[in-house]
Amino acid sequence: MADSARSLDETARHGGKAGRFSGMGPFMLVWSGQAISLVGNSVLRFAFVFETWSATGRATALTTLSLCALLPQVLLSPLAGAFVDRVSRRTALQLADGGGLLIVALLSVLHFTGGLRTWEVYAAVMLLGSAAAFQFPALGAAVPLLVDKGQLQRANSLLASAKSTADVGGPALGGLLVAFSGLGFILVADLVSFALALAAVRVVRMRGDTGPAKKAAGGPRKRLTAEALEGMRFLFRYPSLRDLMLAFCVVNLVMVFGFAAVQPMVLARSGGETAALASVNTAIGVGGVAGGLLMAAWNGPRNRARGMLLGIIGMCLSAQVAMALAGGVAGWCAAILVGAALMPMINGTMQAIVQTKVPQEWHGRVFGAVMFLSQLSVPLATAVSGPLADHVFEPQAADGTGIFVVLGPLVGDGPGSGMAAMLLIAGLCGIAVGVLSMTRRTVREIDTLLPDVADDTPDPAEDSARPGDPEASENPDVPDNPDNPGSRELVEG
């Protein structure tokens, strides 16, 4: 197996010409392991939801379980990214997969020796969320070492497709395994999935994975928290990266706010039909898988920033505006399927931009910052959307007051109309952000203003005249390039 992996690595090194996926052998091996692990984790999460509900019978318990998984992943991402930059990319991936394997192994021991208690499940989910915090920055930093630059959008889209597959296939498979085999078998299966992911990382060689960049001679190592903050500062140091990330984060906030109302809206407008909700959820999964595969075959838009922004506008228009105005299950499924299909292009393109514009030695910290900024909106928007739907939008929709004097003819006044209005407003806001970002030269022409970094890019922390720093001289005629000290882009487009 190791010989095969080395052979595949040589193909990638020389940029094979066999076809669209030439040179992607090492990545495909790692991707296969990660995809299997994602499915295994999704099955285990479903089993934990079922076990927690059976033990407590309370919705609050399930909400707490979700927060236990999400919050460690979001809050630890900047620190995890800084740690990823302190070790080799292979080591970072091995620690992420190995940490998950050890946690599931401990859970298996507890289960087979006396059964899992509810608090132990909560603690385990928090630990798994902590291990997942390392996964995104580690994978984001490792992908450029596994494929050529021209294949980055394709590789990132395949990763997005694997996640969509796990999201739609995991619960379905989990339901069958819970019914016919029980939690014990699921734990063992997840152990095997982590082992396969770890084995794939072990046998694949990563080009240029020489470990952390050398620090200045005699210079003390900074604290991990200080290095984590450097990832945030790096994103905001260059106007193009800053404006792109701000647009991405604002869109993510309004989209999460709208999507939080999708499931209750479908149930309310369909009279509580679980088949309608299942159809919509299936459409989301199918759209995500199909979009990732199509993006992998296409390799994405040539103008990445414009393509990403057009994807955002299209997703808001379909999955939110059209979803809010649709009047039945068929319309909901069609609208949200299109939106879900655009998601891998948006995420894959965003990651490819970061991978090519940010020096390799900064990838961990920057991807940790991206994860933190983009996911921080999830608990916030989720927490706000529920009370607004119950106490503001739904009552006003029923009475035809407030904003529903205008929106009433569009969304109606029956159950779920208030949540449909939330989805419509979120979509319109997302479209506005996409259009506004398109007017900004810093975002629209990021590939011109911020050329790709070279492989031997110096560490920006060691350069007092890095572009975008307050000390750097302003020269609007020179691109804002992290690889060209002394140059700086115009802040205004």
Unique residue bearing structure tokens 């379905």? 172
Are 32 and 165 in contact by the 8 Å Cβ rule? The answer is no
Query: Is the predicted pLDDT of residue 493 greater than 70, yes or no?
Result: no
- Collect all residues with Cβ–Cβ distance below 8 Å to 250 and sequence separation of at least 6: 433
| Range with lowest mean pLDDT among 341-345, 356-360, 430-434, 487-491 | 487-491
What mean pLDDT is predicted for residues 400-412? 87
List pLDDT tens digits, range 183-203. Answer: 889 999 999 999 999 999 988
**Sign of the alpha-carbon dihedral angle for 115, 117, 123, 128:** positive
Q: How confident is the model at residue 101 (pLDDT cuts 50, 70, 90)?
A: very high
- The pLDDT score that the predictor gives to residue 316 is 94
pLDDT digits 0-9 by tens, 407-457: 888 888 888 898 899 999 999 999 999 999 999 999 988 988 888 886 544
Mean pLDDT of the chain: 80
What's residue 267's pLDDT?
84
Over the chain, what HEC string results? CHHHHHHHHHHHHCCCCCCCCCCCHHHHHHHHHHHHHHHHHHHHHHHHHHHHHHHHCCHHHHHHHHHHHHHHHHHHHHHHHHHHCCCCHHHHHHHHHHHHHHHHHHHHHHHHHHCCCHHHHHHHHHHHHHHHHHHHHHHHHHHHHHCCHHHHHHHHHHHHHHHHHHHHHHHHHHHHHHHHCCHHHHHHHHHHHHHHHHHHHHHCCCCCCCCCCCCCCCCCCCCHHHHHHHHHHHHHHCHHHHHHHHHHHHHHHHHHHHHCCHHHHHHHHCCCCHHHHHHHHHHHHHHHHHHHHHHHHHCCCCCHHHHHHHHHHHHHHHHHHHHHHCCCHHHHHHHHHHHHHHHHHHHHHHHHHHHHHCCHHHHHHHHHHHHHHHHCHHHHHHHHHHHHHHHHHHHHHHHCCCCHHHHHHHHCCCCCHHHHHHHHHHHHHHHHHHHHHHHCHHHHCHHHHCCCCCCCCCCHHHCCCCCCCCCCCCCCCCCCCCCCCCCCCCCCC
The arithmetic mean of pLDDT across residues 220-248, rounded, is: 87
Q: Which is more confidently placed, 349 or 300?
A: 349
pLDDT on residue 486: 37
pTM, two decimal places:
0.76
Does 61 have pLDDT greater than 80? Answer: no
36-50, 89-103, 164-178, 274-288: range with lowest mean pLDDT = 164-178
Q: How far is it, in rounded angstroms, from Cα 339 to Cα 430? A: 13
Mean pLDDT is lowest, of 11-15, 272-276, 329-333, for 11-15
Among 305, 379, 93, which Cα is nearest to 101's? 93
Band (339; pLDDT cuts 50, 70, 90): very high
pLDDT band (50, 70, 90) for residue 180 = confident
285/15: higher pLDDT: 285
Percent of the chain at pLDDT > 90 equals: 21
Average pLDDT over residues 68-79: 88
402 has pLDDT over 60 = yes
Distances (CA, A) of 367 to 250, 314, 464: 17, 25, 23
pLDDT score at 490: 29
Q: Is the pLDDT of residue 331 over 90?
A: yes
Mean pLDDT of 158-179: 80
